[in-house]
């Protein structure tokens, strides 16, 4: 496991969301394997990872929809069930349709009535972008419109914690931009937002902190800049026969190494340092190529090459 910024402030503040040693299996599939997480109130956190990383299971355990096999969750000092009962959670789960025979406005009003201290319905409709079709019947909405209404329902709770599981899946590019600026407006009111995504750009652009998950574990955790600095470094490719991978890995600034025949690939956190050392130790190295590694590569490196114990 790779930890980018050690999350050592594991003080269980009542102000925080704390998950401790969460595990969950579905049959033989170990969806989440020992997850520790502490999220500060008011922060916006992205759970990033490919499909099957355990993001949805983690979220469902946080909000009490799924009972963990082991471990505990504390939401501002309460159990998920207590937090739900107190109306402290607004959520947009990954899938879900709306109930019919109501207009959008009626549905959001109906949901607002359930919460102790809801947002003004008109406000929720405005922020979510559902205002323009607020008087249409719910069954006559497109996929993107349905997502906005589901967002409005999550917003109208005006809850301490807003949880969004892959919220932009059904949205087009413009819809996504609108969605995230709405989310930011909501977060700016001091609310805690946790969202799951498999889009790197989204996590990078809209979260204060990225928790990178793979195969049910956290593989990296830190501010987007930290994640990028550590894993989004540079890649050196070269031709270098007869050198052990371990020896290459020992070079300064190298995070991972790979070899295909004589071609080597070094993922580097500090490529300048690596390159100087590489040239001085192995003068026979040739065909050197250095390029920036996108977040995409960092992502793949961290999530795909992980060995399954």
Name the residues that contact other proteins, by CB under 8 A: 60, 63-67, 84-87, 89, 91, 93, 95-102, 106-107, 109-111, 113-116, 150, 153, 157
Please report how close the Cβ of residue 91 comes to other proteins at its closest, in angstroms.
5
Q: Which is nearer to other proteins, 154 or 236 (CB)?
A: 154
What secondary structure letter does DSSP report for 30? E
Question: What are the tokens at 131?
Answer: 């205002």
DSSP code string of 229-263: HHHS-EEEEEE--S--HHHHHTSTTEEEEEEETTE
Q: Which is nearer to other proteins, 114 or 185 (CB)?
A: 114
Q: Which is nearer to other proteins, 4 or 183 (CB)?
A: 183
On the 0-12 / 13-18 / 19+ scale of CB atoms within 10 A, 157 is buried
Please report how close the Cβ of residue 61 comes to other proteins at its closest, in angstroms.
12
Please report how close the Cβ of residue 184 comes to other proteins at its closest, in angstroms.
22
- Count Cα neighbours of 172 within 13 Å in the Cβ-side half-sphere: 3
On the 0-12 / 13-18 / 19+ scale of CB atoms within 10 A, 192 is buried
Rounded Cα distance, 130 and 128, in Å? 5
Q: Which is nearer to other proteins, 17 or 107 (CB)?
A: 107
- Count Cα neighbours of 200 within 13 Å in the Cβ-side half-sphere: 14
Please report how close the Cβ of residue 103 comes to other proteins at its closest, in angstroms.
10
CB 72 within 8 A of CB 37: no
Tokens 């040693």, located at residue: 21
Q: Which is nearer to other proteins, 152 or 200 (CB)?
A: 152
Please report how close the Cβ of residue 213 comes to other proteins at its closest, in angstroms.
20
Please report how close the Cβ of residue 83 comes to other proteins at its closest, in angstroms.
9
Please report how close the Cβ of residue 148 comes to other proteins at its closest, in angstroms.
15
Rounded Cα distance, 257 and 267, in Å? 6
Please report how close the Cβ of residue 56 comes to other proteins at its closest, in angstroms.
11
Question: What are the tokens at 222?
Answer: 């830190």
Q: Which is nearer to other proteins, 90 or 233 (CB)?
A: 90
Q: Which is nearer to other proteins, 91 or 187 (CB)?
A: 91
The set of residues, in sequence order, having a beta carbon less than 8 Å from that of 57 and lying 6+ positions away, is: 24, 26, 31, 32, 66, 216
Q: Which is nearer to other proteins, 64 or 253 (CB)?
A: 64
Provide the angle, in degrees to the nearest 10, between the axes of the packed helices 143-156 and 121-128: 140
The set of residues, in sequence order, having a beta carbon less than 8 Å from that of 69 and lying 6+ positions away, is: 23, 24, 25
Q: Which is nearer to other proteins, 75 or 257 (CB)?
A: 75
Please report how close the Cβ of residue 100 comes to other proteins at its closest, in angstroms.
7
């Amino acid at each position: 496991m790779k930890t980018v910024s050690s999350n050592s402030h594991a003080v269980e503040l009542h102000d925080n969301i704390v998950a401790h040693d969460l595990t969950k299996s579905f049959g033989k599939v170990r969806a989440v394997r020992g997850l520790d997480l502490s999220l500060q109130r008011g922060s916006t956190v992205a759970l990033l990872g490919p499909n099957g990383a355990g993001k949805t299971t983690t979220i469902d355990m946080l909000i009490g929809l799924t009972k963990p096999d082991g471990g505990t969750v504390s939401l501002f000092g309460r159990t998920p069930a207590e937090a739900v009962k107190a109306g402290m959670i607004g959520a947009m789960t990954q899938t879900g349709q709306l109930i019919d025979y109501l207009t959008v406005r009626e549905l959001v009003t109906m949901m607002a009535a359930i919460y102790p201290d809801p947002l003004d319905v008109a406000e929720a409709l405005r922020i979510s972008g559902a205002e323009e079709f607020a008087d249409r019947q719910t069954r006559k909405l497109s996929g993107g419109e349905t997502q906005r209404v589901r967002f409005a329902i999550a917003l109208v709770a005006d809850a301490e914690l807003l949880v969004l599981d892959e919220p932009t899946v059904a949205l087009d590019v413009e819809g996504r931009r609108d969605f995230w600026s709405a989310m930011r407006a909501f977060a700016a009111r001091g609310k805690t937002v946790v969202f799951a995504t498999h889009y790197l750009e989204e996590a990078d652009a809209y979260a204060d902190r990225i928790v990178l998950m793979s195969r049910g574990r956290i593989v990296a955790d830190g501010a987007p800049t930290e994640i990028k600095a550590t894993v989004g470094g540079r890649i050196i490719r070269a031709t270098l026969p007869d050198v052990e991978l371990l020896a290459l890995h020992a070079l300064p600034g190298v995070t991972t190494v790979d070899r295909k025949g004589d071609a080597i690939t070094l993922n580097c956190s500090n490529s300048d340092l690596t390159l100087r050392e590489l040239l001085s130790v192995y003068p026979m190295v040739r065909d050197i190529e250095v390029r920036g590694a996108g977040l995409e590569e960092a992502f793949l490196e961290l999530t795909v090459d992980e060995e399954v114990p």
